[in-house]
Amino acid sequence: MKLVVLEGYSLNPGDLDWGRLKALGDVTIYDRTPPEKIVERALQADAILSNKTPLTRKIFEQLPALRYIGILATGYDSVDVKAAIDFGIVVTNIPTYGTQSVAQMTFAHILHIMHHLAEHDKSVQKGEWSKALDYCYWKYPQRELAGLTLGILGLGRIGKAVAHIGNAFGMEIIYYDKVQADDSSLGWKDVPLEILFQESDVLSLHCPLTPETYEIIDMNHLNMMKKTAVLINTSRGGLIKNNDLATALKKGIIYAAGLDVLDKEPPPLDHPLLGIPNCFITPHIAWATHAARSRLLDSAIENLKCFMKGNPINVVYG
């Protein structure tokens, strides 16, 4: 089998071992592949491993040998899955590798906003504590999570992991998920979407990006939220209508946002959410712990092995 990894660097910048993958066949690994190089690099490939590289119907028309695409992620927005099916190409993803890491980053953002850790560190490093009249001071309100309501939009694996952590902090859990059965045995409350926006002190997004959820965070829903509310997005950037969130943050319609994803990555320098003091952004790294990336690589290898044996797993059907 001839296998081409179109973008290996984000998964393995050098701290993981490609050896088990290379043992499966003739493997070529590229750190990154621009769109204009896809066909040239994958022309003879039976299989491709990729993440964000766009794989379209037009691309498939030019890759007659291609029979397998392994997405190095859970989301598969970058692949025209219906076109792949038309060409007899099996597409797989990796659904479970990053659950704990993403949940952990969700709370990293929540805790940072509740305590303004970076701002207080900068204050101390500038000498303000050394000059203070008292043994302590705070430049922003300090908020306790216990007793606050954590709203979760999308109660899948990651949403559930976030809910469990919220429980450990003493938070009340409410959620909206149109396909999720009631979890009242855990004390979590299944609520209508409007109630989710109205009652959440922290609203965390964990739903897929679909036509129904595209830009669901718009001014209509933001106006339903508390002025003290915090929005967290470690899911998909397209869930947010950028200009509406920017306006809400600047006008104090909500208190703050913590984002690990944006609609365009990397973002342009004039992206509407850059430069807003109460919008805290990390560069899509919730998934990127060493442990999570190790699981991802192991799962990608297992997916490929099963395909080669004629029994593919984690197949995406669009």
**Can you say whether the dihedral through the CA atoms of 280, 11, 154, 162 is positive or negative?**
negative
Q: Is 236 a catalytic residue?
A: yes
Of the candidates 236, 271, 290, 293, the residue annotated as catalytic is: 236
Closest alpha carbon to 57 in 73, 41, 38: 38
Closest alpha carbon to 241 in 270, 267, 217: 217
How many CA atoms, within 13 angstroms, populate the side-chain half-sphere of residue 170?
4
Q: Is 143 a catalytic residue?
A: no
Of the candidates 265, 271, 295, 302, the residue annotated as catalytic is: 265
Of the candidates 119, 215, 284, 302, the residue annotated as catalytic is: 284
CB 190 within 8 A of CB 137: no
DSSP state of 281: E
Going across the sheet that includes 172-176, the strands are 189-190, 172-176, 149-153, 202-205, 230-233, 256-259, 279-281
What is the C-alpha R_g of the chain? 22
With b for 16 or more beta-carbon neighbours within 10 A and e for fewer, the 192-223 pattern comes to: eeeebbbbbbbbbbbbebeeebeebbbeebbe
Q: Is 284 a catalytic residue?
A: yes
Active site residues: 236, 265, 284
